[in-house]
Amino acid sequence: MKLGILLAAVLVVVVAMASFGPASAQLDPSCETSCGNVSIAYPFGSREGCYHSHRFYVRCSIVAGAEPILYLRGGNLVITNMSIHENKIEIMAFVAYDCYNNNIPRFISKLQSSDYQISTKNKFVAIGCDTYALVEGTNGNKSAATGCISYCSSNRSLANGSCSGVGCCEIAIPQGMNSFNITLSSYYNHTYVLDFNPCSYGFFVAPGKYNFLVEHLRDVGRVNTKMPMLLEWAIGNEPCEEARKNSSSDFLCNGNSECEKEYDGPGYRCRCKPGYEGNPYIQNSCTNINECERGVCKHDCVDNDGGYECRCPKGFSGGNKKDGTGCIPDKSVPDKSPVTQIVLGTFAAAVFLLIFIAWLYLGLKKRKLIMLKEKFFRQNGGIMLQQRISGEGSSHNDRAKVFTEEELKRATNNYDETRIIGKGGYGTVYKGVLSNKRIVAIKKSKLVDQTQSQIEQFINEVVILSQINHRNVVKLIGCCLETEIPLLVYEFISNGTLSDHIHNESRSLVFTWDIRLRIATGTAGALSYLHSAASVPIIHRDIKPTNILVDDDYVAKVSDFGASKLIPMDQIELATMVQGTLGYLDPEYLQTNQLTDKSDVYSFGVVLVELLSGKQALSFDRPENERNSAMYFLSSLKEGRLFQVLDEHLLLNEGIIPNEIINVSRLAERCLRLKGEERPTMKEVAMEMEGILASMIEKHPWVQTTSNEEESEYLLKQVPMDHDYEFTDGTKASSSTFDSMSNHAILQIASGR
């Protein structure tokens, strides 16, 4: 009998221990709870039985005379902090470097882990005066990439704490990456800044953990060879409901712990329910919070399981009991004693005073808002713009309209995210409907200069662009100056961008050569107008297919003048910080910082190549010699292999190229010459494009002539061209220059972000 009772007791203990599973392992006093000054909390653990699964295994290394070090699993990643509630761990990641001393080997920093995601709170930072850095990684079975460019011609232009692309650049990282490779390279092998910047550096870093100093250009390793970065984690690979259904015995969000609904990554995360605190991954660890001990109520407080209740003092009831302002005397027992009347009078006076203060506060707040709008209006040059509008001799329809902030809020439904139709390096564009039912595009810029000269330039640009009445330029309707960042209002173009029509499979099938030629001719005409016919010449500075809109009749509309420059009549070039999009950027401008109208000519040449080839300007999914479409196009043209780079839809049959395509190819070659003085002007380009279009209209686009066959034969032979494609320092240009960049990211050189 006694033996049976003993066996039954043992069985109950075994069943009870099994019911806790791995979640109770952290409650074992023998499990380590810290390593040095780093806390260890479940699901992490340093020995079997203390962690949830092997992905949460950590190793505490203790060496005599040294501070203990916590490593992630059996690897070499040092953990410096751990947060169970934010599902993050901080590790020390290696800094990648590429030095230009043969005695120092190149080091590529990488991380391969399917169990952790790289937190988007990190920033990717690159340091160097001739550096472009690339991060290539994976997001599950998808690839992801980004990068930035850091450039400086001398150490005199550098500033501590600035990471805007001069000496140091930083950029946000794609969401969901769980592995990465950091590679570094340069355009000129650091030959001209070797004395103060012999190496390029790249690394991930947690927010607030790195501040750029000029001395880091010489050797960032003196600061640290590793940088703190954040990794995010979750339990398993199944979302919450599937994990609960498929592995209910091992499911960790139990009791007062629940799944985090906002998390949509792989696996699931737990958190304590509102009103509870503790470790949500340990059974029964989330315990009730006693809010009453924390003074949440002004008067009486009653703590409940998972909540609390504020009560009015005795003799009072109703209203907002939390702060006591709504508690009023009970009317069930009338009390007309002097003390009561004094209390009631005091209370009424207090209520009246509160109402008066609230009214006064709202009035002052409204007045402050009006004054703030007036301040922004003056600060953004509103008075100057009104004077310019009233002083211009143009018709009323040509004038720039000044919108109020409320008008544009109503037009965009308070800038609802569903109204976003585009994002770029210079701002966000919303679709709006004005009170007169006119559909417009409203651009909210990211940056604004507050200097007087920049305000005058902005107002001048608004006035000039509003008066441009060219069928191939998006019409500027007006602006709003009542906000800190001025808003610009443009006409709305509904048929997408030129990039959509070239690279969207369904659209490209009907994107015929005559349509492409008409769009190219219209774009050339618009740029010619901006350069030569506008009252003040305008250099666009960011010509690319995504900035060329297409209406329903396939008429090109040049847009996005966020990077444009007005050129004074007595100047032919401007010294500016380099801005533009990699792949379309004029190499001469990149090297000299001297902006001319020939910079737009080069970018237009790249657009012509993209129309001819149907391929993006930069793509690192292609072979090395084909990554830069413009360079590959030029080399193919030089070697008589034009038909190999053309979009297959543009060929009549194998080896036969229409005469108009040959003429456009030759024009593209002249636009892409590295020296600006050897390129034609946009006026010459526009005239030549109009001639090509006119000749095609006179006959069927695909009729061949004897001259066409002769030209085709010429371009299919290996005939040397008149120019080698060299940078001015003698370095040969090739697509290998861009080996370390990716077609998944378009980099804005000006900001490095």
Contact partners, residue 696, CB within 8 Å, separation at least 6: 514, 517, 660
List phi, psi (to 5°) of 544. -165, 160
The four Cα atoms 617, 623, 626, 627 give a dihedral, to 10 degrees, of: 30
Measured CA to CA, the distance from residue 381 to residue 454 in angstroms comes to 10
Measured CA to CA, the distance from residue 151 to residue 221 in angstroms comes to 20
Residue count of the chain = 753
- β-strand partners of 103: none
Measured CA to CA, the distance from residue 521 to residue 525 in angstroms comes to 6
Contact (CB, 8 A) for 201 and 97: yes
Measured CA to CA, the distance from residue 590 to residue 728 in angstroms comes to 11
Measured CA to CA, the distance from residue 547 to residue 578 in angstroms comes to 18
| DSSP assignment string, 137-191 | EEETTEEEEEEEEEE-SSGGG--TT--BSSSEEEE---TT--EEEEEEE-SSTTT
Instruction: Give the E-state strand segments of 384-475 in sequence order.
Output: 401-403, 420-424, 427-433, 439-445
Q: How many helices (H) and strands (E) does the chain have?
A: 16, 36
* Cis amide linkage into residue 198, ω under 30° from 0: no
What is the rounded end-to-end Cα distance, in angstroms, of the chain?
79
The kind and range of the H/E element at 11 are helix 2-20
Measured CA to CA, the distance from residue 194 to residue 691 in angstroms comes to 50
Determine which one of 542, 560, 597, 600 is catalytic.
Answer: 542
Q: Which residue has the tokens 């774009």?
A: 523
Instruction: Judge whether 444 is annotated as a binding position.
Output: yes
List phi, psi (to 5°) of 134. -130, 135
Strands 34-35 and 38-39: antiparallel
Measured CA to CA, the distance from residue 49 to residue 318 in angstroms comes to 54
Residue type, 366: K
Residue type, 191: T
List phi, psi (to 5°) of 504. -85, 125
Q: Which two tokens stand for residue 425?
A: 């390096």
Measured CA to CA, the distance from residue 179 to residue 133 in angstroms comes to 16
Residue type, 33: T
Measured CA to CA, the distance from residue 659 to residue 517 in angstroms comes to 13
Exposed e or buried b for every residue in 270-295, given b needs 16+ CB within 10 A?
bbbeebbebbbbbbebbebbebbeee
* CA-based nearest residue to 418, from 426, 428, 427: 428
Residue 403's CB is within 10 A of a number of other CB atoms, namely 22
* SS3 (DSSP) at 369: helix
Q: Look up residue 295 and give its DSSP letter.
A: T
600 flagged as catalytic: no
> Which residues does the annotation place in the binding site?
444
Q: Which residues are catalytic?
A: 542
> Which residues does the annotation place in the binding site for ATP?
444
